Amino acid sequence: MKRVRFHPEARAEVRAAAEFYRTVSRGLAAGFVSEVRSAVDRVSRLPSSGAHLATGGVRRVVLGRFPFNLIYRDTDELMYVVAVMHQRRRPGYWRDRL
């Protein structure tokens, strides 16, 4: 299992989405955080499980219950989570984080 590091803005995206879902339901917020953790766990064990994006070495995993993608880069040392991106907002905005 590889070590995982989040870009600070990716971590903020998780917090903001969880806070939004908390306004709807505490259970929904917990489900979102659990889904992100599950995706992170999966890519840390199976780095090539995500779909390749056009940008070199960057992959994407779709969260199952929520309209978000986990965008990450696999390096020799760690899994770097670049963004937790809503699927319907500004695609590609995270590219400057690479």
* pLDDT per position as a tens digit, 17-47: 999 999 999 899 999 999 999 999 999 999 8
The sign one gets for the Cα dihedral 18, 21, 22, 28 is negative
Global confidence as pTM: 0.92
Give the pLDDT confidence score for residue 70 in this predicted structure: 97
Domains and CATH numbers, the chain: 3-90 (3.30.2310.20)
Indicate if the pLDDT at residue 54 is higher than 80: no
Which of these, 13, 79, 9, 90, lies nearest to 44 by C-alpha position? Answer: 79
What confidence category does residue 81 fall into, taking pLDDT thresholds of 50, 70 and 90? very high
Over residues 36-60, the mean pLDDT reads 90
